[in-house]
Structure 1
Amino acid sequence: MSRAILQLHDVHKSFGEAHIIRGAELELRDGERHAVIGPNGAGKSTLFHLISGQLQPTSGKIVLGDTPIQGRSPEHINHLGLSRSFQITNIFPGLTVFENLRIAVMRKHHMQYHFWRSVQRYPEVREQTEKLLEQVRLQDKQSVCAAELSYSEQRALEIGMTLASDPRVILLDEPMAGMSHEETDYALQLIREVTQGRSLLIVEHDMDVVFSLCDRISVLVYGQVIATGTPDEIRADRRVQEAYLGEEQCA
C-alpha cells in the first residue's frame, strides 16, 4: 500500500453556529486518484478550501507529506507541492493561452510581479510554458485569446496553470461541470494523462467519471466522511446508497 501524501484528522469548520465540516477524516495516498462525492451542501468545496488554505479549520489537523499545513497561506501550501483548480474557471480571459500559462510559470519562479522585465531574458520560462502547452494539448491554440476557447479548452488551460508549479498533489473541483458528453471524454482523458505519477483529489458529480477514473472514493455527507473504498465497495455500501447514490445507480 502506498504511503499517505495528504491526511485530514478530525477536521472541523464552523461559520458562527453553522457547522459545515464535522470531524472529517480523509487520506490521499501517494500516486492515487481519489474522489470526494456527496450531495449538494455536503461541504465538498469547503473541504477543498480548507486543504488549499483558502479557509482555516476551526479545529483539526491537515498534513501534506510530513508537514502540517492548517493555518498556512495558499501560496505556502502551493510551494509545498499542492495545487488546485476551482469550480468556476479561473483564467485571464483577455490574455492568450500562452500568456496565461506563462504567468503561471512565472509565479512558480516568484516572478509574477516582474512584468516590466523582458521574459526573453528567462528562456526557462518559455521552455516550461511550451511543455505545458503540449501536456494540455493546446499547442495549436497558444496565440488564441483565452475567452475564445471552448469551455473544455478553458478547463484544460486551467489544468495547465494548475500544473505549472509541478505539484505532487492536484485538487480538481468539478472539472467536468457544464460539459457536453464529448467535452467530458476529452477532459477525462486529459486528466488521466496529466495526473500520471501524481496524487489527485477530485470533487465531481458525474458518477461515470468518478467510477472510471478513481482508485478510491470518499463519500461526504453533512460534513462527515461516511465511507471510503474502491468504486465497487462504494457501489455496494448500503449507507452510501441510502445517503447519496440511490438504489438505481448502485444496481
Structure 2
Amino acid sequence: MSDPILRLEGVHKSFGPAHIIRGVDLEVRRGERHAVIGPNGAGKSTLFHLCSGEFAPSSGRILLDGQEIGGMKPAEVNCRGLARSFQITNIFPGISVFENLRLAVMRKHGLQFTFWRRVSRLDNVTQEVEGLIERLRLGHRAHTLASQLSYSEQRSLEIGMTLASDPKVILLDEPMAGMSQEETEYTVGLIREIAEDRTLLIVEHDMSVVFSLADRISVLVYGEMIATGTPKEIRENPQVKEAYLGEEVAA
C-alpha cells in the first residue's frame, strides 16, 4: 500500500452560518486514481476549491506530500505540485493549441514575462510542447485555434495545460460534463494515459466512468465523507446505496 500524497484531516468549511464541509478526512495514495462522488450540493466542488487554494479551510489541515497547503493561494499550491482543471473549460480560445500549451510551459519555467527573447528560440520549451501535444493526441490540431476544437478536444487541451506544470497531483472537476458517449470514451482513454505516472483526484457524475476509471472512491454526502473503498466495496456498501447510489449502481 502506497503512502498518501494528499491528506485532509478534520477539514471544515463554513460560509457564515452555512456549514458546507463537515470534518472531512481523506487520504489519496501516491499514484492512484481516486474519485469523489456524491449528490448535487454534497460539497464536492467546495472540497476541490479547498485543495487547490481557492478557499481556505475554516479549520482542519490539508497536506500535500506532508507539507501544509491549506490556506495557500492557488499559485502557491500549484508550485507545491498540485494542479487543477475546472468544470468550465479554461483555455485561450483566440490562439492555437500550440500557443496555449507554450504559455503553460513557459509559466512553469518562469518565462511568461520573457520579453527580450523570441519565444520561437526557446528550444526546450518547444520540445516540451511538442511532447505534450503528442500525449494529448492533438498533433493534427497543433496550429488550430482553440475555439475551433471540438468540446472533447478543448477539454483535452485544458488537461494538457494542467499537465504542463508537471504536477504531483492532478484534480479533474467533472472532465466528462457535457460530452457525448464517443467524446467520453476518448477522454477516459486520455485520462488513463496521462494518469499512469501521476496521482489523480477526480469529481465526476458519470458513474460508469467513475467505476471503470477509479482505483478507489470516496462518497461525500451533505459535507461528510460516509465511505471510502474500492469500486466493488462502494458498489456493495448499503449505507452508500441508501444515501446516494440507489439501485442504479446495484444493477
**Which TM-score band (shorter chain)?**
over 0.9
Deviation at 1:120, TM superposition (A): 2.5
When normalised by structure 2's length, the TM-score is 0.98
Letter in 2 for 1:85: S
Letter in 2 for 1:161: M
Call closer, same or farther: CA 1:115–1:16 in 2, change over 3 Å. Answer: farther
Q: Give the equivalent residue in structure 1 for 2:204.
A: 204
Give the unaligned 5+ runs of structure 1: none
Percentage identity across paired residues of the two chains: 67
Query: 1:1-251 to 2 correspondence within 5 Å?
Result: 1-115=1-115, 117-251=117-251
Aligned to 2:190, the other structure's residue is in SS state helix
Structure 1 runs of 4+ aligned residues shifted over 3 Å read none
Letter in 1 for 2:160: G
Q: Output the CA distance in 2 between the equivalents of 1:232 and 1:191.
A: 21
CA offset digits 1:104-144 (Å, max 9, x no partner): 00110112233564113321111111111011011110100
Letter in 2 for 1:190: L
Give the unaligned 5+ runs of structure 2: none
Q: Output the CA distance in 2 between the equivalents of 1:249 and 1:196.
A: 26
Letter in 2 for 1:172: L
Letter in 2 for 1:7: R
Letter in 2 for 1:226: I
After TM superposition, the structure 1 stretch with the greater mean CA deviation from structure 2, 240-249 or 34-43, is 240-249
Q: Output the CA distance in 2 between the equivalents of 1:44 and 1:107.
A: 28
Aligned to 1:6, the other structure's residue is in SS state strand
Q: Give the CA RMSD over aligned residues.
A: 0.9
Aligned positions, number: 251
Q: Output the CA distance in 2 between the equivalents of 1:65 and 1:117.
A: 36
Call closer, same or farther: CA 1:208–1:103 in 2, change over 3 Å. Answer: same
CA offset digits 1:84-114 (Å, max 9, x no partner): 1000000001110000000100110112233
CA offset digits 1:129-179 (Å, max 9, x no partner): 111101101111010000000000000000000000111111000000000
Q: Output the CA distance in 1 between the equivalents of 2:196 and 2:110.
A: 26
CA offset digits 1:203-238 (Å, max 9, x no partner): 000000000000000000011110000000000111
Letter in 2 for 1:242: E
Letter in 2 for 1:96: S
Q: Output the CA distance in 2 between the equivalents of 1:10 and 1:66.
A: 15
Deviation at 1:77, TM superposition (A): 1.1
Letter in 2 for 1:55: F
Aligned to 2:143, the other structure's residue is in SS state coil
Letter in 2 for 1:152: S
Q: Output the CA distance in 2 between the equivalents of 1:94 and 1:113.
A: 20
Q: Output the CA distance in 2 between the equivalents of 1:143 and 1:64.
A: 36
Letter in 2 for 1:100: N
Q: Output the CA distance in 1 between the equivalents of 2:186 and 2:121.
A: 35
Q: Output the CA distance in 2 between the equivalents of 1:148 and 1:220.
A: 37
Deviation at 1:74, TM superposition (A): 1.0
Call closer, same or farther: CA 1:115–1:35 in 2, change over 3 Å. Answer: farther
